[in-house]
Amino acid sequence: MKMISIVVPCYNEEEALPYFYDEITKVVKTMKKINFEFLFINDGSKDKTLEVLRTLAQKDKRVRYVSFSRNFGKEAGMYAGLKEAHGDYVAIMDADLQDPPSLLPEMYHAVTEEGYDSAATRRVTRAGEPPIRSFFARCFYKLINRISKADIVDGARDFRLMSRQMVDAILSMTEYNRFSKGIFGWVGFETKWIEFENVERVAGETKWSFWKLFLYSLDGIVAFSTVPLSIAFVMGILFCFIAIAFIVVRTIMFGDPTSGWPSLVCIIFLVSGVQLCCLGIMGQYLSKTYLETKKRPIYIVKETELDHKE
Ligand code: UDP
Ligand code: MG
């Protein structure tokens, strides 16, 4: 019998977990002749998430959990989940039911019957999300698809079911700065996209502030594109050109009137601004390289369900 592992990263999800567990067990009951394992990753939650998971693991043999020593972020949680999962197929799902478990049978059908390696979901609406957040999200997807080879789909969720082969491919990418939306596309394989309307969280609140999302989008760009590095170069050339064309030619043609203080100050500010900007771009890549070369572990485990079994 085939087994599906369902990986659920959880950070402060004590309120949502009971709903999630109810819902997923209902869906799983309808899928006959398949074994399941529910693998919860407790990403250093500060609430009672771990207690909830311990209780679930005691009453249901299919429930496993891995608890981190601190908050490592959702990316680390997903990596840990893929690594610890035993299933022939692995699904990643949020704990807040924003990824409808009811899509599972359709996803399973796609990978077993229709010859796909993975079935992924994308939401076609962003209802219930602040408009400003949706706007920046759209801009981000446009930009990253322009400047990187990884195919990153707008509205794509991390909710997807993958074959063992694809999971192993993802695990072979051990980079420290993880951006899964890019990694899923980068490894290739055939993916079937299933669309759904956005669903709001059942309980608790979002863990992603605007600032956190902004930094995450920078991670995504730096991890999957080196185009920003050449922006610095292009800007440099452009400014040399402007300097020569504008300043030299102008002086030759119109002489050198001494009253030029404001424009001079403007130029100084502009050029130094561009320089700082370019330095910043360099810094981004340098800092990522620095962290990568340390080869730190992506997560550290403090406790698993095995610690409580005799
Ligand atoms: N999450 C996590 N670690 C974090 C932040 C979030 O494991 O540092 C989990 C969270 O528990 C949830 C999923 O990632 O299961 C998605 O988070 P959330 O619902 O807050 O994000 P949103 O849906 O608002 O983008
Ligand atoms: Mg959510």
Q: Domain containing 38 — which CATH number?
A: 3.90.550.10
Could you tell me if 255 and 180 lie in one domain? Answer: no
| 220 located within any domain | no
Q: Is the pTM of this model over 0.85?
A: no
User: 74 and 55, same structural domain?
Assistant: yes
Q: Indicate if 275 and 301 belong to the same structural domain.
A: no
Q: Which residues contact 200 (CB under 8 A, 6 or more apart)?
A: 98, 127, 128
Ligand 1 atom closest to residue 205's alpha carbon, by position in its atom list: 20
Residue 46 DSSP SS3: coil
Residue 68 lies in a domain: yes
Rounded Cα distance between 20 and 101, Å, is 9
Residue 169 and residue 187 in contact, taking contact as beta carbons nearer than 8 Å: yes
95 Cβ inside 6 Å of ligand 1: yes
Nearest protein Cα to ligand 1, atom 18: 206
- For every one of its 310 residues, what pLDDT tens digit does the chain have, with 9 covering 90 and above? 899 999 999 999 999 999 999 999 999 999 888 999 999 999 999 999 999 999 999 999 999 999 999 999 999 999 999 999 999 999 999 998 888 899 999 999 999 999 999 999 988 887 777 888 888 888 888 888 888 877 788 888 899 999 999 999 999 999 888 888 889 988 989 999 988 887 878 778 888 888 888 888 888 888 888 888 888 888 888 887 887 777 777 777 777 666 676 777 778 878 888 888 888 888 888 888 888 888 889 999 999 888 876 5
In a domain, 147, yes or no: yes
Ligand 1, from 41, 78, 96: best to mutate by most atoms within 8 Å of Cβ? 96
Closest CA to 13 of 36, 41, 34, 37: 41
Cα angle 304, 297, 220; round to 5: 110
**33 shares its domain with 112:** yes
Domain, as residue range, for 104: 3-207+297-308
How remote is the CA of residue 165 from the centroid of ligand 1, in Å?
26
> Is 216 a domain residue?
no
How many helices (H) and strands (E) the chain has is answered by: 11, 8
User: Phi-psi category of 204—alpha, beta or left, where left has phi over 0 and alpha has psi -120 to 50?
Assistant: left
Closest CA to 49 of 95, 85, 7: 95
Residue 215 placed within a domain: no
Are 30 and 40 in contact, with CB atoms under 8 Å apart? no
